[in-house]
Structure 1
Amino acid sequence: MDNSSVAVFIDAENIPAKYAREIFDYASNYGNVIIKRIYADWSKENIQNWREKIFDYGIIAMQQFSTSSGKNSSDMYLTTEALSIFYEKQIDVFVIVSGDSDYTSLAQKLRENKKLVIGIGTNKSLKSYVNSFNEFFYLDNEKVKCNDKDRLKAIPKEQLKELEQIIDNLIDEKTRAEYAVINTYMQKKYSDFHAKNYGFSSFRQLIENFILKHNEYQEKVSDDKCTYYLVKNSTLLRP
């Protein structure tokens, strides 16, 4: 995806400035970030920490005055600009940084038009909002950032069950379950199924922890050392 053009839209009133580096690390994985915009009522004290980050990351700050007390002023402005850029520019990947479910319709509209839409937010985000994206990353998963030896506990039981089912189906159909294929199937069903959301550095590390708990599977690698996959543990198949 190195040649893909990426646009990042940040709701500063919804996401703390301390996550700036993490946000752009995620975004840059999808291609060349050519649009960086951040939205807020900059007269508010609680978002002043973003000012330094704006210069550090070359973000364009957009001002939107609040029209009512307690209401996020940026929702409509961000949505309108994202749609305007969708119609006016050739953008492949839209990154919406907010935990506000008001952006659900925006994400759905962009996806309907075959754009890759990435969500970045917090654990407080509604599941319906998370599922409106192609992929979703959590910024505040503190429970999986500790040195927990059993990080699989952070993965919902429903997802673990589906993971096992996908692996079994692939092995039954193709004699092996390639990691890339497993990951693709899981992300299609769960937009927030990402190794980093659960404290793993890579999908392979997640699977290695998974097979420690499921010894019926065995890891293999292709001759060119490029493709990792699972097969049934041959030692358990012996009579």
Structure 2
Amino acid sequence: MPSEPRSPRLAVLIDADNTSARIADGLFEEVAKIGEASVRRIYGDFSGTRSRGWAEILAKHAIIPQQQFAYTTGKNASDITLVIDAMDLLHSGRFDGFCLVSSDSDFTRLAARIREQGIDVFGFGEQKTPESFRQACRRFIYTENLLPGKIKEEGDTATSNKPLQSPDTASLLIKRVLAQEDTDDGWISLGTVGKQLLNLAPDFDPRTFGFKKLSDLVRKTGQFDIERTEGSPLRIRIRQKPSVEGRAKRGRTRGSAKSPATE
């Protein structure tokens, strides 16, 4: 009997100094969508108050703490230890991807080096994370979208809190993707659009704009035509303006509908 394919093995490395413990549940739920968190390590000085929130939930998520005492002010031993561990794990050849959890741009070169080896990097950090680190990752997830209560109950399409960015911002990105594809009739499958969006902007996420699904975000903008035919995937294109002939035809239709009342 053939065995089921195993989920991608992931190494999850967390910078406790730059990540809130409030995202822990959402973080590992998100990681589970990508693969199996085979390694779970967190780096920081857990003897101080700054990382105390993490110290209280390490056991819940089976996270292994890497204690780094702050012997010298202004020096971040935690970052150095995280990088050393990441390179050791990379060269072991046992992992299909790395999850780097930090809002610190210092990890930009680490992310780029891992990807040079042909291994995917998934970044997790706050919206303030510098663009250099976000772009160095295959995909970057804003940790604000992982906070408790950010998403409504199953079945609702919009998030419960104010979105991080306006849907209009998403419209510009979607239009860029549609323009790049340049099909004869302008229609492109939504799945293709989603993949191209992540290639264009690794931090693209419908949740950032207040929606769970890309299709709901597209509908909300009101700037795209949407089509689904039986047996075919959902397709979108930039909303077409009615032609002069079409407007005239609708005008004649409305006029004929009124004629009995005016006779």
Q: Deviations over 1:49-94 (max 9, x none)?
A: 1122211101111112224214433101011101111111421111
Q: Which residue does 1:181 correspond to in 2? A: 192
Q: How many angstroms does 1:193 deviate by?
A: 1.0
1:12 aligns with 2:19: no
For 2:32 and 2:50, how far apart are their aligned partners in 1?
27
Unaligned runs of 5+ in 2: 151-157, 246-263
Q: How many angstroms does 1:198 deviate by?
A: 2.4
SS of the residue 1:74 aligns to: helix
For 2:113 and 2:70, how far apart are their aligned partners in 1?
25
Q: Deviations over 1:72-121 (max 9, x none)?
A: 33101011101111111421111000011111110000111111111101
Identity of aligned residues (%): 25
Correspondence for 1:46 among 36, 47, 50: 50
For 2:129 and 2:160, how far apart are their aligned partners in 1?
21
TM-score, scaled to structure 1:
0.85
Aligned residues: 231
Q: Deviations over 1:134-175 (max 9, x none)?
A: 111111369996555xx5953574x63232132244363464
Q: How many angstroms does 1:236 deviate by?
A: 2.5
For 1:233 and 1:140, how far apart are their aligned partners in 2?
31
For 1:124 and 1:45, how far apart are their aligned partners in 2?
23
1:228 aligns with 2:234: yes
Decide which moves more: 77-86 or 195-204. Answer: 195-204
Q: Is the 8 A contact 1:13 1:47 kept in 2?
A: yes
Q: Which residue does 1:118 correspond to in 2? A: 122
Q: Which residue does 1:132 correspond to in 2? A: 136
Q: Residues 43 and 221 from structure 1, CA distance in 2 versus in 1: closer, same or farther, beyond 3 angstroms?
A: same
Q: Which residue does 1:74 correspond to in 2? A: 78
For 2:193 and 2:97, how far apart are their aligned partners in 1?
23
1:167 aligns with 2:192: no
Correspondence for 1:195 among 206, 210, 213: 206
Unaligned runs of 5+ in 1: none
Q: Residues 90 and 71 from structure 1, CA distance in 2 versus in 1: closer, same or farther, beyond 3 angstroms?
A: same
Q: Is the 8 A contact 2:125 2:141 kept in 1?
A: yes
1:207 aligns with 2:214: no
Q: Residues 222 and 84 from structure 1, CA distance in 2 versus in 1: closer, same or farther, beyond 3 angstroms?
A: farther
Look at both structures and tell me which one has the larger radius of gyration over its CA atoms.
2
Alignment RMSD (CA, Å): 2.7
Q: Deviations over 1:191-217 (max 9, x none)?
A: 11111222211112211112x1x1xx3
For 1:2 and 1:80, how far apart are their aligned partners in 2?
27
For 1:153 and 1:23, how far apart are their aligned partners in 2?
21
One-letter code aligned to 1:97 = V
Decide which moves more: 58-67 or 135-144. Answer: 135-144
- For residues 58-97 of structure 1, what are the structure 2 equivalents within 5 Å? 58-97=62-101
For 1:115 and 1:44, how far apart are their aligned partners in 2?
34
One-letter code aligned to 2:121 = V
